[in-house]
Amino acid sequence: MFSRKQIAVLLAEFVGTAVLALVMLSVQHSVLNLQYFVALAVGLTLAALVSTFDGNGVSLFNPAVTIGMWTVRQLSALRALAYIVAEMLGAWAAYGLYTYFIKSSLQPVGGDYDGRILVAEAVGAFVLSLAYAAATFNNYTNARKAVTVGAAYALAIILAASVTIGIINPALALSVRAFDVFGSMGWTTYALGPVLGAVIGFNVYALLFAPESSLVRVRAAVSGRLGRSKAAPAAAASTPAAAPARRSSTTSRSTAKRSTRTTRSTSRGRKTTTRRRSTR
């Protein structure tokens, strides 16, 4: 069963991603639909969400950032998968709620594969992941982390806005219909691009900029997993050799017991002979 904290973390990812998606949808379909206003609104929203929910655990609200955290051993595979499911469900719920508000469905805004869009989304995710990695490896305070990732998200959207819609989040891309879950539209740009950028950003920061203590913990986690995988065949190979050793030790013990019994019986015989002579 899930503990109270685990439920709170998953609910925070769900609610946070939904709020982030609602803000992006509202600003994009308003008179302030310029990318700079979208970047400012979404950046401030992310900062507020991180400040609100970060006390319960990591506050990501982005599947690409979640995958990047997993690649540097800051999240387990099961935990990362649960985060991604909560984030995608939150974005889907935000789309349903927004269409309920406006009483209309949204038209797809994605398209076929475009290499420029892929690179632009990857560059934006690279910048955002550097901010998240800095906050994670340096143990930023809640307020400092909120300001850092919020400003980085606004900057990432502005960087990508010259080519793309500027989403930098596969979950939000689903809510604005930049790609279809069961189709080919947008998958290789608005979903794959941010994931590639986040993975590269997290690993670059972990290898080059992270404190040595954090890097040692990552290496220890990787070496520990490799050590456990190598120890299993070694243990299996040593098991047959252990049986003869146990047999030899058992044989030596039985031999020692026999010699002890022989020595005791000999000493008893000598004592009896001495008593008989003294009686005579």
pLDDT digits over 21-32, tens only? 999 999 988 877
For the chain, how many structural domains are there in total?
1
Does 261 reside within a domain? no
pLDDT tops 70 at residue 183? no
Does 156 reside within a domain? yes
280 CB contacts (<8 Å, ≥6 apart)? none
Whether the CB-CB separation of 92 and 180 falls below 8 Å is answered with no
Identify the pLDDT of residue 65. 96
- Helix (H), strand (E) at residue 219: helix 212-279
Does 15 reside within a domain? yes
The whole domain housing 82 covers 4-210
pLDDT tops 90 at residue 261? no
Does 249 reside within a domain? no
pLDDT tops 80 at residue 8? yes
The first and second tokens of residue 234, run together, are 């070694």
Does 44 reside within a domain? yes
Does 269 reside within a domain? no
Report the alpha-carbon distance of residue 112 to residue 118 in Å, rounded: 11
Whether the CB-CB separation of 62 and 169 falls below 8 Å is answered with yes
Provide the CATH number for the domain around residue 193: 1.20.1080.10
Does 182 reside within a domain? yes
Cα-only R_g, the chain: 32
Does 253 reside within a domain? no
268 CB contacts (<8 Å, ≥6 apart)? none
